[in-house]
Structure 1
Amino acid sequence: MIPYRNELILALIWVAISGSYSIPNLVFGFAIGWIVLFLVRDQRLATRTVIRPWALLLLIGLFIKELLLSALRVARLVLSPRMDIKPGIFAYPLKVDRDFEITLLANLITLTPGTLSVDVSDDRRTLFVHGMDCSDPEQARRDISQGFERRILEAFR
């Protein structure tokens, strides 16, 4: 294992972002990286996340599939002469409990056309989702539970 590998990676990112490819800038980036990692070391050790690459690929594939299917559904709803939709907000009980997992689930829902994550309850057990068509909120809950949430749990636990 390379010592100070994470600090070096952050220093290289700093150099690339700042656009100044000099030794003093690299040293500055290394120092900033060291300070940042020193400050967050307790959080990093407490929240080790297991990443299963195959399950992560399945999650990405599911997102792409849902993105395409929901884009088609939204286009069909918008282009139909009769917009027979029932927009609304429904509460989704969360199985994921880590901040990273809740954020990922909320973002995947928001990035999917026709849905938008609105809020998370204070106890972090409920996600409020706005749906363009909430005619069957139970089906929407099942879709999230058996789709994104299940894949997130498989990928990161």
Structure 2
Amino acid sequence: MNKSLLLNNFLLAVIWVIATGVATAENFIFGFIIGLGILWITATKKSDRKYFVILPKLVYFLLFLVWKLILSNISTVKESLYSKSKLEPGIVKVPLTLKDEFHIVTLANLVSLTPGTMVMDISDDKKVMYIHVMHLEDKDKFIRELKEDFENKLVELFA
């Protein structure tokens, strides 16, 4: 992502907040959207256009991540409060399609951020991630959901 465009977008949002005199999150977001429109109209380089493709993907991914964290927290609270539920801890070997080290570390951090899961290790060849799961009913389902929910979305985001 073009960092100068992102910085300019934030700067335009701050200018909007100062110009309107209303310092709220909603007004900043509105200023950010207006700044995005201004930057889109004035973008001359083809490389600058990539910013306008990545930014909506990033916003969608962050909203998706917040939603998954909320669901995971609710599940963890249920597991903690109700003694009838059985914890089924397990370690899952997840094959990785991500190649770049930054992308793999990002995935590992997202997995560890989610309650009930923790990345234990990544193989030396960066092809396998070992994850401890607090409540593991079906390994294949866990791997499939992890790949669909996080890994594939990261591939789209970083493409």
Please classify the TM superposition score into its range, dividing by the shorter chain length: 0.5 to 0.7
Unaligned 5+ runs, structure 1: 6-49
Q: Contact conserved, 1:88 with 1:131, CA < 8 A, in 2?
A: yes
Unaligned 5+ runs, structure 2: 5-49
- Specify the alignment match of 1:150 in structure 2: 152
User: 1:28-107 counterparts in 2 under 5 A?
Assistant: 52-107=54-109
Q: Contact conserved, 1:58 with 1:151, CA < 8 A, in 2?
A: no
CA offsets per residue over residues 73-107 of structure 1, 9 Å max, x none? 00001101223121011000101110110000000
> What secondary structure sits across from 1:60 in the alignment?
helix
> What secondary structure sits across from 2:83 in the alignment?
coil
Q: Contact conserved, 1:62 with 1:148, CA < 8 A, in 2?
A: no
Give the AA of the match of 1:99: E
Runs (4+) of structure 1 exceeding 2 A deviation are: none
Q: Contact conserved, 1:89 with 1:129, CA < 8 A, in 2?
A: yes
- Specify the alignment match of 1:117 in structure 2: 119
Q: Contact conserved, 1:53 with 1:155, CA < 8 A, in 2?
A: no
- Name the TM-score, length of structure 2 as normaliser: 0.65
- State percent identity of aligned pairs: 30
* Separation in structure 2 between the aligned mates of residue 112 and residue 54 of structure 1, nearest angstrom: 23
* Separation in structure 2 between the aligned mates of residue 95 and residue 89 of structure 1, nearest angstrom: 19
Deviation at 1:61, TM superposition (A): 1.3
Give the AA of the match of 1:106: A
> What secondary structure sits across from 2:137 in the alignment?
coil
* Separation in structure 2 between the aligned mates of residue 143 and residue 79 of structure 1, nearest angstrom: 25
* Separation in structure 2 between the aligned mates of residue 119 and residue 69 of structure 1, nearest angstrom: 25
* Separation in structure 1 between the aligned mates of residue 157 and residue 131 of structure 2, nearest angstrom: 23
CA offsets per residue over residues 50-84 of structure 1, 9 Å max, x none? 77212211221121011000000000011012231
Give the AA of the match of 2:127: R
> What secondary structure sits across from 2:88 in the alignment?
coil
Q: Contact conserved, 1:85 with 1:135, CA < 8 A, in 2?
A: no
Give the AA of the match of 2:117: T
Higher relative contact order (CA 8 A, sep 6+): 1
- Specify the alignment match of 1:15 in structure 2: none
* Separation in structure 2 between the aligned mates of residue 85 and residue 138 of structure 1, nearest angstrom: 18
- Specify the alignment match of 1:22 in structure 2: none
- Name the TM-score, length of structure 1 as normaliser: 0.66
